[in-house]
Amino acid sequence: MTTVAQDIIVFANKRVLPEAHRFFEQLGARTYSVALEHPKRLTQGRRFVVYLRGHEALPEVRSFLREVGTTNYDWVLLYVAHHSLELAAKIGFLAGQELPKKAEFAFDADEVKHWLEARNALVHGFKTVRRSFSGTDLSGLRKRFGLTQEQLAAAVNVTTRTVQNWERDVATTQMERKTRDLRELSDLLRDYVIRGKESEWLRSEQKALRGKRPLDLFLEGKIRDLIVEFRRLQEGQPV
């Protein structure tokens, strides 16, 4: 059955508004573009995207997010177009203060498209929202984390041969279940780690992990422990 995509309201600084409109139009999203400085259409929509380029004044963004928080919105996606971890951290702090529901972050076009597809927010029909997970996806995820096949095998508690088979799409019946935690962690990292920096993060000591490297927990097969820490961060609990 075909699902009709709902309109998305894209807010951006007026200097980059045409750029934001073209970006989402090319992805296949049906959007209305509105200057961030004049959120006059907030009451006319329930799906909001904020396109951030680094030109935005933080007090202005705070004021906007506060207005969003007063609406009955479905979701808010914050797209940081120039991969600024510092900007993402600042905006994330503001969003956590002003929005009653968690906002999502994306840092490149592929992430935005995947996120919108998963919510039937593009002008296409989908038989199912869920995508199958393949060996190609697993190989890409492993390389994104900078892991060898041996390290990935230790992380998900299988043999290296099993990982090799999965990446060739051979004997994959247990792959979805065995890699569930790894994929969940990958999704969580989009909120906290710039795309392309996952390997660096994995090998850096983290205060939230009492000085341990995430890689150490990976190799001990404790990916779930990392997920628990991230969930606590999301809920604002001390770590």
Here the contacts of 123-130 (C-beta below 8 Å, separation 24 or greater) are 123/5, 123/28, 123/29, 123/30, 124/5, 124/28, 125/1, 125/2, 125/3, 126/2, 126/3, 127/1
Of the candidate ranges 16-30, 59-73, 114-128, 157-171, the one whose mean pLDDT is the lowest: 114-128
Res 206: pLDDT? 82
Distance CA 51, CA 20 (A): 6
Output phi, psi for 125, to 5 deg: -95, 145
Range(s) of the chain covered by CATH 3.40.50.2300: 8-118
Work out the angle at residue 193's Cα, subtended by the Cα atoms of residues 108 and 152, and round it to the nearest 5 degrees. 100
The per-residue DSSP string of 221-233 comes to: T-HHHHHHHHHHH
H or E stretch covering 219: helix 214-219
Per-residue pLDDT, averaged over 202-222, amounts to 87
Query: pLDDT tens digits for 113-133?
Result: 877 777 766 654 333 334 467
Query: pLDDT tens digits for 41-80?
Result: 565 567 888 888 877 888 888 888 888 888 888 888 888 8
Q: Are 25 and 32 in contact (CB under 8 A)?
A: no
Which one, of 119, 147, 132, lies nearest residue 215 by Cα? 147
Which one, of 91, 68, 103, lies nearest residue 234 by Cα? 103
Per-residue pLDDT, averaged over 162-175, amounts to 92
Average pLDDT of the chain to the nearest whole number:
79
Whether pLDDT at 33 is above 60: yes
The per-residue DSSP string of 55-123 comes to: ---HHHHHHHHHHHHTS--SEEEEEETT--HHHHHHHHHHHHHH-SS--EEE-SHHHHHHHHHHTT-SS
Length of the chain measured in residues = 239
Distance CA 175, CA 138 (A): 9
**The domain 8-118 belongs to what CATH superfamily?**
Response regulator (3.40.50.2300)
Output phi, psi for 41, to 5 deg: -105, 15
